[in-house]
Structure 1
Amino acid sequence: MNRKSVNPASKLEYKRRIKFLVKAIIFIAALFAINTYHAEILKYGIGENYVKAARFYLYADLWVSFIRLGVVFYYKKKHKLSRGTKNNFVLGIDHIANILHTFILIGTILMLFNIDPIALITSLSIVAAAIAILSKDYIANMINGMLIMFNGEVMIGDEIKIGEVKGKVTDITLVNLHITNDDEDLIYIPNSLVFTSQIYNYTKRAIRKVSFDFDLKNELITDVSAVEKYIIEALSDYQQYIKDDSYMLRIIKINENFTSLKFQFVLHRHSAVREKDIRKVALRKVLQYIGEEKV
């Protein structure tokens, strides 16, 4: 019996919910103990600053986790997203939650040493400004990453082209955009470069046009329509994904020894098939045609 495959993102989200439930039980129990036995805790020589730090961490961390879970659940419910769907908005909320968790941890550590975090930030405003100037590129990358996540122009799973890089968006972080090209190479592009570059988003265009160029020696081209029919027949397994009558073989340029051709067709808007898979089959069929004609 075949087991139903579980989407990794769905599995991760399920683990997060279980983790939150366990954490909520432990944190609420700890808060109840601190509030109920506050006087007894102080009698054991534990300082008030430790109690305040523990209470702050438990409350703040629990609330951030709860709000993150609630926002993600509401968003997925509203947009009817299936379980495990990777989405820019959810990714952005996760990054914001992680940043808040980090700030909470830093604030807790300061409180353990009886240091008021707000007073410290106020007194170190000049130092903070200097740090911000030195790390402005990293901060700009983070801000641009957030904007990319929430504006929806580039989504995880989109086929895009930035400069000479073309491929599928596999992840968006606070620093880089991850793209996997046709050779399965993972390429990292800084968010600041993405935000200021011209982007071709092939997924969001009105039609999904697939095309490729190839050259044939003039003696092999006796009938262009025969070449076109040969390639179309090679794509018979993919006909359900391709729009009828969208096939076209065009002559781009006729040279002295060879002719440049372009074959193109249009996929249905929501076809799950990958463009590179169809292109690979068609190109191999062209090579097969050349081999057969030479014999």
Structure 2
Amino acid sequence: MSQQETKTSRPTPYFIIKIIISLILFAVSVYIPSLQQHKWITQLINGAWTFLIPSTAVSVLRFILISFYNRRHAKKTVRGNFVLGISQLTAILNVAFFLLAFMVGLGINPVEFLTSMTIVAMAIAVTFRDYITNMISGLLIMFSEQLSIGDRIRIGNEKGRVEDITLSNIVLKNEDDDIVMVPNNFFYNQSITNLSVHRSKFFYVKFELPLTVAHHSDELETDLQELLRTHPGLEKENEVKLSVEQIGKDFVKFKMELIAINNSDRLHRQIENDALKRILLFKYKYA
């Protein structure tokens, strides 16, 4: 998903497959009753029903909700992660249904089993407390309007674009294209700045030059200043200042900050493309 203009594609109706499997099981039960004389087969069929009935109902409900949501917002851009939240919640419920079905298939009474495992369950809850709270925080984020996939955020010492929101982490791609995993709990424990709610006109252009060309960085600044001073997409107060990001064995990485006339990503990419073309010509001049 790109920036969460929540016009997501129509969800695949997986419930149709579940309905087909249910019909096959029903036909087997009706037309081949002799199979039910075997206890283990009966348990497997009951386990399958335990999963298929509630899972199909949840899948149908998910399909209806997402279809209604997409239709309602078909002509406007909205923020939020409603579809992502519904999908993750459906996945959690399906896992729970599968575990119940597995116990039924093995002939285990789920109620008695869970009752006898209460103390163990409490110990597990304490052991995996951080993951459980992360999961709950993740669901809350997905259903909130405060953060969406594609947003640029600053959280703690990290800054980047939200690539994904999982049940455990917010996945960020920072300015160095590194993937940073931020626990969901940080969303409620740390100060967060969402730079995409009022997107900044500031943006960076990064590039790399051979050492032989990097020696002429002052001339490159002057050359770029002449180009960018008259660029229609930039504010007039732009002053080209190259910052050294990294010095390698035979290269130097530079970065410069520019101010566009608006916060359009398309305009930022266009300006970056024009600047990189000028840098490419400069590179071949001294290569």
Residue in 2 aligned with 1:188? Answer: 181
Counterpart code for 2:201: K
Q: What is the CA distance between 1:25 and its match in structure 2?
A: 2.2
Counterpart code for 2:16: L
Q: What is the CA distance between 1:280 and its match in structure 2?
A: 7.6
Cα deviation 1:173-232 (Å, max 9, x = unaligned): 001111112332222111112332111211101x5321679xxxxxx8xxx9x9976423
Residue in 2 aligned with 1:16? Answer: 12
Distance 1:54 1:20 in 2: 14
Distance 1:267 1:189 in 2: 30
Query: Is the Cα contact below 8 Å between 1:31 and 1:55 reproduced in 2?
Result: no
Q: What is the CA distance between 1:45 and its match in structure 2?
A: 5.3
Distance 1:81 1:24 in 2: 33
TM-score in terms of structure 2 length: 0.70
Query: Is the Cα contact below 8 Å between 1:27 and 1:62 reproduced in 2?
Result: no
The answer to whether residue 45 in structure 2 is matched with residue 51 in structure 1 is: yes
Q: How many residues align?
A: 250
Query: Is the Cα contact below 8 Å between 1:68 and 1:94 reproduced in 2?
Result: yes
What are the ranges of 5 or more consecutive residues in structure 2 without an aligned counterpart? 1-7, 206-217, 241-255
The answer to whether residue 73 in structure 2 is matched with residue 79 in structure 1 is: yes
Distance 1:50 1:262 in 2: 64
The answer to whether residue 232 in structure 2 is matched with residue 248 in structure 1 is: no
Counterpart code for 2:86: I
What are the ranges of 5 or more consecutive residues in structure 1 without an aligned counterpart? 1-11, 214-219, 252-260
Q: What is the CA distance between 1:49 and its match in structure 2?
A: 3.0
Following superposition, which runs of at least 4 residues in structure 1 exceed 4 angstroms of deviation?
12-15, 44-47, 226-230, 274-277, 279-289
Are the structure 2 counterparts of residues 109 and 273 from structure 1 closer, same or farther at C-alpha, using a change threshold of 3 Å?
same
Q: What is the CA distance between 1:166 and its match in structure 2?
A: 1.9
Secondary structure of the 2:167 match is coil
Distance 2:55 2:37 in 1: 27
Cα deviation 1:37-79 (Å, max 9, x = unaligned): 4743323555543332122122122222222222211211122
Cα deviation 1:240-272 (Å, max 9, x = unaligned): xx6xxx542479xxxxxxxxx98533315xx34
Secondary structure of the 1:153 match is coil
RMSD over equivalenced CA pairs, Å: 4.0
Correspondence 1:82-161 to 2 at 5 A = 88-161=81-154
Distance 2:204 2:37 in 1: 79
Query: Is the Cα contact below 8 Å between 2:79 and 2:148 reproduced in 1?
Result: no
Q: What is the CA distance between 1:158 and its match in structure 2?
A: 0.7
Aligned partner of 1:30 among 25, 37, 44: 25
Are the structure 2 counterparts of residues 288 and 44 from structure 1 closer, same or farther at C-alpha, using a change threshold of 3 Å?
closer
Q: What is the CA distance between 1:170 and its match in structure 2?
A: 1.1
Distance 2:103 2:22 in 1: 20
Are the structure 2 counterparts of residues 196 and 266 from structure 1 closer, same or farther at C-alpha, using a change threshold of 3 Å?
farther
Counterpart code for 1:177: I
Are the structure 2 counterparts of residues 47 and 232 from structure 1 closer, same or farther at C-alpha, using a change threshold of 3 Å?
same
Distance 1:66 1:188 in 2: 33
Distance 1:86 1:21 in 2: 30
Secondary structure of the 2:160 match is strand
The answer to whether residue 50 in structure 2 is matched with residue 70 in structure 1 is: no
Counterpart code for 1:31: F
Instruction: Pick 1 or 2: higher relative contact order, CA cutoff 8 A, min separation 6.
Output: 2
Identity of aligned residues (%): 28
